[in-house]
Structure 1
Amino acid sequence: MKTTEYLTAIIDELIQTVPQISEEETAQLVTAVLEADKVFVAGAGRSGLAGKAFVMRMMHMGIDAYVVGETVTANLEAGDLLIVGSGSGETSTLVPVAAKAKQLGGVVAAVTINPQSAIGQLADIVVQLPGAVKDQAKSDYSTIQPMGSLFEQTLLLFYDAVILKYMEMHQLDSGKMYGKHANLE
């Protein structure tokens, strides 16, 4: 197969994920972002990278948002929102983060393949995204892509869709957001 044919297959897989995402679950997450004083995002590996991109866009919109584990991350307080992106929902470093957020009175949202996971069970809001977990032998979902790639790509694009919904609700556009873009580059 040519590289461009692989790219077409990846895009086709992504297109197939969209109708499987619940608009109701998504609306709950958007509402939680709107209502939170501060938003924290956690993820490991490539899911963590998608989370960092999400936090960057929230910052561009004026949302007080942080990546869990960074040195400049604020403290989570009651009523703040923690969003955890984890395909399996069992990532060993993220389960205690979700538990601590609950203990502190935070709202926990899980974006995961597996709502029945440890993180899913701790969450107040669960958005289920389609995809295969890293060990595809343990997955009912079929993909040509390795490990958790389909979930991670869907997660990144889903986060961008949440940003667009927030922009629509607050009548923001790229011009308004650009004023908060880094200028020391």
Structure 2
Amino acid sequence: MNNQEYAKMVLNELTHTLTKIDTNSAEKFVELVDAADEVFCAGAGRSGFQIKGFAMRLMHMGKASYVVGETCTPNIKEDGLLVVCSGSGETKSLVNHAMKAKEVGAKVALITINPESTIAKIADVVVEISAPSPKSAKQGEVVSIQPMGSLFEQSEGLFMDISIMMLMERKGLDSDTMFGRHANME
């Protein structure tokens, strides 16, 4: 197969996963992000890379956002939101983060394949992405040609970008306004 054929197959997979996300869950996710004083972002592995991009876009919007585990991340408080990306919803460190957030009264949002997971059971909103992953007991509806959890990781990144677009619309922001907060020490 050539790159064009692979591209069409991957785009079809992404169309499937993104259009299967429940609209009510997506709206609630955006509402929780919008209402939070601070947003704490956590994920492991490739999901961790995706969530860092989300934290950056929130910062571009003027929202206080942090990546859990970074040395300059403050403590989460009652008015905070923890956003967790975890295909399985069972990654031990992420389960611990979610439990700590709930312990202090903060909200938890989970983006996952597994809406029955440990984190899902304590989350205030669960955004389910129907994609396969070798780490999840529950497999999504689609069978992917891509390796391992690639489809989930791509889908969660695109879902978070779509959420940013929804937040931008709510706040009346555009890319030019947000670019004013882009790093100038690169």
TM over 0.5: yes
In the alignment, structure 1 residue 151 sits paired with structure 2 residue 161? no
The 1-side partners of 2:161 and 2:4 are apart by 24
Q: 1:79: Cα distance to partner?
A: 1.9
Across the aligned residues of Structure 1 and Structure 2, the Cα RMSD in angstroms comes to 1.4
The 1-side partners of 2:140 and 2:182 are apart by 41
Could you tell me which runs of 5 or more consecutive residues in structure 2 were left unpaired when the two chains were aligned. none
Residue 9 to residue 166, structure 1, CA distance change in 2 (3 Å): same
The one-letter code matched in structure 1 to 2:16 is: Q
Q: 1:18: Cα distance to partner?
A: 2.1
Identity of aligned residues (%): 49
Asked if the contact 2:113/2:136 (under 8 Å) is kept, the reply is no
Match of 1:44 in 2: 44
Match of 1:92 in 2: 92
Match of 1:20 in 2: 20
Could you tell me which runs of 5 or more consecutive residues in structure 1 were left unpaired when the two chains were aligned. none
Asked if the contact 1:81/1:107 (under 8 Å) is kept, the reply is yes
Matches within 5 A, 1:40-119: 40-119=40-119
What SS does the corresponding residue of 1:133 show, helix, strand or coil?
Answer: coil
Give every structure 1 segment of 4 or more consecutive aligned residues whose post-TM-superposition deviation is greater than 6 Å.
none
The one-letter code matched in structure 2 to 1:159 is: M
Deviates more, 1:101-110 or 1:135-144: 135-144
Asked if the contact 1:85/1:112 (under 8 Å) is kept, the reply is yes
The one-letter code matched in structure 2 to 1:127 is: V
Match of 2:164 in 1: 163
Deviates more, 1:45-54 or 1:134-143: 134-143
Asked if the contact 1:134/1:146 (under 8 Å) is kept, the reply is no
The 2-side partners of 1:8 and 1:20 are apart by 18
The 1-side partners of 2:87 and 2:28 are apart by 19
Matches within 5 A, 1:103-142: 103-135=103-135, 139=139, 141=141, 142=143
Residue 135 to residue 83, structure 1, CA distance change in 2 (3 Å): closer
Give TM-score, length-normalised by structure 1: 0.96
What SS does the corresponding residue of 1:76 show, helix, strand or coil?
Answer: coil
Asked if the contact 2:89/2:117 (under 8 Å) is kept, the reply is yes
Match of 2:177 in 1: 176
Residue 137 to residue 56, structure 1, CA distance change in 2 (3 Å): closer
The 2-side partners of 1:29 and 1:79 are apart by 15
The 2-side partners of 1:75 and 1:130 are apart by 32
Q: 1:17: Cα distance to partner?
A: 1.2
